[in-house]
Amino acid sequence: MADPRHNSVNEGLLARWRGTDTHQEQGYRTLTAWFNKRLLRTVYEEHGRNALSHRIDADYEALTGDEDLLQQEVKADLRTDGIDASAVVSDLISYGTLRKHLLDCLDGEKSTESSSTDWEGESIVIARSVAEEKAQAALSSLVSDGELDEGNGVSVDVEIQLRCESCPTVVPFDVAARRGYVCDTHSNQAQSIVSDQS
């Protein structure tokens, strides 16, 4: 289960967690999903099972979700491809296991500057990840049912946006966080910057 951008999976986990080596900083939950999906992809490839992203996303959602019937269907489907479904599920790691691995086994640390505001960024990353996973599962279902033509491939892209309640201005969350306001017309901070410059 090698990481194509790094010498080892552990090196890749640390880089994604810290936001280094051109990676965006990721939280524990996002990294857990990334690791588990790589594990699924490896097992699928070893058994000649379709390992396209939408299939991996949908199966992972089913195997880790709360819908017992859907989970049983995916497990039965795995068994028809010669995959030990119970072993696969037991091999999937939890959020707590990954956190312990990063902090205790790998002695992982983040810079103080990064961790002081980490929870805000991590919350947005988690929200985007959950939305993307749900949308990808819905997309996979539509493609499987023939209700949507996937063509040469379709991917889901989720962006968190903030809207001014006084006008139609909408900006991406990261832009608003970087400049300190959503709307330059209705923001106290933006208005004070304009007055200082007059």
Q: How far apart are CA 154 and CA 171, in angstroms?
A: 25
What is the average pLDDT across 53-67?
90
What are the distances in angstroms from CA 68 to CA 17, 33, 194?
31, 19, 57
Q: Which amino acid is present at 76?
A: A
Could you tell me if 6 and 35 lie in one domain? yes
Query: Cα 191–195–198 angle (5° rounding)?
Result: 140
Could you tell me if 45 and 3 lie in one domain? yes
Domain that holds residue 25: 1-145
Could you tell me if 121 and 174 lie in one domain? no
Whether 78 is covered by a domain: the verdict is yes
Could you tell me if 31 and 93 lie in one domain? yes
Whether 191 is covered by a domain: the verdict is yes
Whether 128 is covered by a domain: the verdict is yes
Could you tell me if 7 and 89 lie in one domain? yes
Counted domains in the chain:
2
Could you tell me if 136 and 163 lie in one domain? no
Whether 154 is covered by a domain: the verdict is no
Could you tell me if 104 and 192 lie in one domain? no
Amino acid 85: pLDDT: 93
Whether 192 is covered by a domain: the verdict is yes
pLDDT tens-digit map of 140-159: 888 888 888 876 667 677 77
Burial category of 44 from C-beta neighbours within 10 Å (exposed 0-12, middle 13-18, buried 19 and up): buried
Whether 151 is covered by a domain: the verdict is no
pTM: 0.55
* Radius of gyration over every alpha carbon of the chain, rounded to an integer in angstroms: 21
Whether 153 is covered by a domain: the verdict is no
Could you tell me if 140 and 176 lie in one domain? no
pLDDT-derived band at 161 (thresholds 50, 70, 90) equals: confident
Could you tell me if 57 and 135 lie in one domain? yes
Could you tell me if 141 and 170 lie in one domain? no
Percent of residues, the chain, with pLDDT higher than 70: 83
